[in-house]
Chain A
Amino acid sequence: MLSLRNVSKKLPDGRPLLKGISLDVQKGEFIGILGESGVGKTVLLRCINGLTRPDEGEVIINGDGRPQRINGKKGKDLRSIRRKIAMIFQGSILVKRLAVVENVLTGGLGRISTLRSLVYGFTDEEVHKAMEALEQVGIQSLAHRRTETLSGGEMQRVAIARAIFQEPHLLLADEPTSNLDPKNTEAVMELLQPLTKQIAIVGVFHTPELVRKYCTRAIGIRAGCIVYDGSPHLTDETLRLIYGTRNQIPDCQIH
């Protein structure tokens, strides 16, 4: 589904942030990436869909039997790969002045031609599908409200509906619950988990509890390396390894 091979990224000042990350993700997996803030979790996620360009290494996505390399791609090729990778972000990234359903519909922009999206807009069938996506996340009744009138939890649901409408092979989730209350956090995670029946999810989370409860696999990043890759049932020992209370520079070979 997704393979990262030796992905490296330097900070603008030249210090290495990610030092040769390699990772394989299969369909059905719900991966939770953990690590201290500033360790490069978000950057790693952004390397996957090319929002950030890795300095070295390869990112290969294989959603439909054809492996495709993402990094180094530009323009049309890049867009056609990105179409298959959905992303939900920390906080809201919706267009606040558009109606909720319109925000969901933008998830389909990669599928339709530029001309059609500018001149005719979306078809009734697409609107119907967008409404189904909203129903799936439980906010169908808000479809025609202007997005800025929604609460944080509702907006994150809209973002998930948009990701569903996009019909991706892979969903990237960058701290999707970081500014939500516990109840909404739970609700968002409950919505994400069943999606792994069809796709893979790679998420960055700020609390190990969420990874323990919902993910199928945990990955710990420290000092630019993967220091843990395994069961989401994290022990105190692994948490110390990931968050660095164990006072040593981790060896990049530990897995």
Chain B
Amino acid sequence: MWVCRVNPIRLMEGIPRALELIQCMVPPAWEKIPGLVRPALETIQIAFVGTAFGASLSFIIGLLAARNMHSIALLRHTTRALLSAERALPDLIVMLFFVAIVGLGALPGVMALIASSVGMLGKLFADAIEEIDPKPVEALEAIGATRLQIIRYAVLPQILPSMIANTLYRFEVNIRMSILLGAVGAGGIGFYLVTSMRLLKYQEALMIILMTMVLVMVCEKSSEILRKLIIGDEILR
């Protein structure tokens, strides 16, 4: 407590400043909306690309990490260990690591999202694969199907609903994360927010905050609709 100087008095002292800040923020700078559309789209793009690549990669990694897909224990344990190591790394550190490699911009943001998505989805997919009904897999083995055919016709159909649900949830997470990553140099709307705060353009900052809220809500709602649309379908392929 004392090290961090956390105490109620400091919080109380902050209240007038907060009010002052809010006063500076209203009304939001509505006229900035047209200029913010592009960075907002960029944020969505970063999240979308990160999720798409992350989920595809996670499927392959999930197959490697699942107990019932192959008998090479070393490969399975290594994959699982790498996945949990990734989850142990804070996302911002991963982002800074990629910035150091490829420089600022959308690319390190996308790569950080891919890494972070794989950390989560890779594990979830692997767990889903381990929980499938093994009998259809055995039945296809008995037919003389190849491993890839078994994955396509017996494994994938069984895990698809949970794959879709988890991927859509991860997309929501990635939208929020890509805003945050923007603030540390990944481009998109987050970058604009930090800039306007630094330049003390508080009305613009509020506008950006409102915009991110709308962005997140729209994305969450549409992924919810998408989920119902796909998983509620009678014949799912």
**In the complex, chain B residues 125-181 whose Cβ is within 8 Å of any chain A Cβ:** 133, 135-136, 138-146, 148-149, 152-154, 157-158, 160-161
Q: 21 A-B Cβ contacts within 8 A?
A: A49-B142, A79-B144, A79-B145, A82-B142, A83-B144, A85-B142, A87-B139, A87-B143, A91-B135, A93-B138, A94-B139, A95-B157, A95-B158, A96-B133, A97-B161, A97-B236, A106-B140, A114-B146, A117-B148, A118-B148, A118-B152
> Chain B residues with Cβ under 8 A from A166's Cβ?
143
Smallest CB-CB separation from A98: which chain B residue?
B157
* A124 to B: closest C-beta gap in Å: 17
Q: How far is the CA of A109 from the CA of B142 in the complex (A)?
A: 11
Decide yes or no whether A233 CB sits under 8 A from chain B.
no
Count A/B pairs, Cβ under 8 Å: 79
Q: Given the interface contacts A97-B160, A146-B234, does A107 sit within 8 Å of B148 by beta carbon?
A: no
Range of interface residues on chain A?
A: 20 to 34
Smallest CB-CB separation from B151: which chain A residue?
A118
* A46 to B: closest C-beta gap in Å: 9
Chain B residues close to A by CB (< 8 Å): 133, 135-136, 138-146, 148-149, 152-154, 157-158, 160-161, 234-236
**Do A114 and B148 touch (CB < 8 A)?**
yes
* A105 to B: closest C-beta gap in Å: 9
Chain A residues close to B by CB (< 8 Å): 49, 51, 78-83, 85-87, 89, 91-99, 102, 106-107, 109-110, 114, 117-118, 144, 146, 166
The 5 closest A-B pairs by CB, nearest first: A110-B144, A82-B144, A83-B144, A109-B145, A93-B139
Contact of A107 among B133, B136, B143 (CB under 8 A): B143
* A113 to B: closest C-beta gap in Å: 9
**Do B136 and A93 touch (CB < 8 A)?**
yes
Smallest CB-CB separation from A79: which chain B residue?
B144
**Do A89 and B143 touch (CB < 8 A)?**
no
Contact of B145 among A81, A92, A106, A144 (CB under 8 A): A106
**Do A93 and B234 touch (CB < 8 A)?**
no
Smallest CB-CB separation from B132: which chain A residue?
A95
**Do B136 and A81 touch (CB < 8 A)?**
no
**Do A99 and B142 touch (CB < 8 A)?**
no
**Do B146 and A79 touch (CB < 8 A)?**
yes
**Do A81 and B149 touch (CB < 8 A)?**
no
| Most chain B CB inside 10 Å of its own CB: which residue of A89, A95, A102 | A95
* B104 to A: closest C-beta gap in Å: 39
**Do B149 and A95 touch (CB < 8 A)?**
no
* B157 to A: closest C-beta gap in Å: 4
Q: Given the interface contacts A98-B153, A106-B153, A109-B153, does A82 sit within 8 Å of B143 by beta carbon?
A: yes
